[in-house]
Amino acid sequence: MTVPCEGQDLVAATAIFGDRLPLAQRYVEHLATTGIERGLIGPRGVPRLWARHVLNCAAVQEYIAEGASVADVGSGAGLPGLCLAIARPDLSITLIEPLERRVIWLHEVVEDLGLENVKILRSRAEQAVGQVEADVVTARAVSALVGLVDITLPILRGTGELLALKGRSAREEIKKAKKKLNRFGARETEILTAGEGLLDEPTTVVRVTL
């Protein structure tokens, strides 16, 4: 199934993916077909796959340094991990996902797209500590920040950044997680906006720096 990328979405996709836009389009086709068939994406989300999912995730690349290693926790349908891998071939990305059916799908997509900068680890985030080295940990729709810090910050081994894609509750989530953030030695916690001027709805990101 072809999901058109038009108007402002096409402007944003061209700016973010550049000459790798055909790869992003092929990824969206996977989401709209086998992704739905296997329950990774809801069918009602198809019309907004570009805006709500792919561009929303890929925009976060602006906050990741050149050549960084990234661990994407709870990858599911590759959001945001595969979006980042397509947009930024310089990044080394490990997708961490515990459910076998999702891992199988991720392997199929990565192979089809020929993404050489992606590794896939079937594991819970807690068990991935020590198996993955990362400068940055990403997470989207995994849990509230107060629970997320427990399963993401240990992967960084004391230095690096967590980029958590959040919504309107970001400020409140930071308040609730403050004690835990202090316990982990977080130097700074801030709310950022990705895709400003490109996306109709810029992405809200909570960045925790150790």
Please report, for the domain that includes residue 202, its CATH number. Answer: 3.40.50.150
Q: Is residue 109 part of a domain?
A: yes
Closest residue by Cα to residue 156 from 178, 183, 136? 136
pLDDT the model gives residue 56: 96
Q: Is 74 annotated as a binding residue?
A: yes
pLDDT the model gives residue 109: 98
pLDDT the model gives residue 43: 86
* 145 neighbors 191 (Cβ within 8 angstroms): no
Q: Is residue 160 part of a domain?
A: yes
pLDDT the model gives residue 124: 95
Residue 96 forms beta bridges with which residues?
73, 121
pLDDT the model gives residue 28: 97
Q: Is residue 150 part of a domain?
A: yes
78: left (phi over 0), alpha (psi -120 to 50) or beta: left
Q: Cite the beta strand spans of 41-125 per DSSP E.
A: 69-73, 92-97, 118-122
Q: Is 24 annotated as a binding residue?
A: no
Q: Is 140 annotated as a binding residue?
A: yes
Q: Is residue 147 part of a domain?
A: yes
Q: Is residue 121 part of a domain?
A: yes
pLDDT the model gives residue 49: 95
Q: Is residue 70 part of a domain?
A: yes
Q: Is residue 167 part of a domain?
A: yes
User: Considering its fold, how many domains does the chain have in total?
Assistant: 1
Structural domain of residue 77, as residue ranges?
A: 59-209
pLDDT the model gives residue 173: 96
pLDDT < 50 stretches in the chain: none
pLDDT the model gives residue 141: 85
Q: Is 158 annotated as a binding residue?
A: no
